[in-house]
A and B are shown apart, each in its own frame.
Chain A
Amino acid sequence: DTGVSQDPRHKITKRGQNVTFRCDPISEHNRLYWYRQTLGQGPEFLTYFQNEAQLEKSRLLSDRFSAERPKGSFSTLEIQRTEQGDSAMYLCASSTTGNEQYFGPGTRLTVT
């Protein structure tokens, strides 16, 4: 399967813990995006990279959130000091510049 992959698929954590998610994009795609989706809503943009460069961050991305794409391939999204409001599906997508975005299966985070 050469699509976008995400790991883990599910994560249950206690409030205050740190969590890290990984995304592997489609191999030839230079852009990688992170979104968050809660029940009954469309995905909300968090941040995106073009190669290694983080080009945009949403104001939704508080200072507890950090994302990296160190070698321009896979990316990680870390949430520090998780809160119950962080419970959501975290979706990663990739694209070539300016083209259609393809999503991975997501990481479902539950903060208890």
Chain B
Amino acid sequence: QSALTQPASVSGSPGQSITISCTGTSSDVGSYNLVSWYQQHPDKAPKLMIYEASRRPSGVSNRFSGSKSGNTASLTISGLQAEDEADYYCCSYAGSSTVLFGGGTKLTVL
């Protein structure tokens, strides 16, 4: 099992939209809708932002949205705000009761 592939960094200006991709294989992302996304600020615990590829937990801003096509999942943040600056990780079910994470993407708000 290899980690899911994410860009190391993305950036955007306040008010803009950005998209973070998460590429897996037909054995993980491509086979299951069980993709989740986590936001992590420095020295804080990860926070669940998206689950089942596109569902938002209660309390998460609707500026965050998720999608999936084939072996690639995506997280889009619209109306970028300074507080969105953080690391973002994707995660996918990989069969046989196992889980894979992506390598993480550092989002910089310019």
A and B co-occur in one complex: no
Please give the residue numbers on chain A whose beta carbons come within 8 Å of chain B beta carbons, in ascending order.
none
Please give the residue numbers on chain B whose beta carbons come within 8 Å of chain A beta carbons, in ascending order.
none
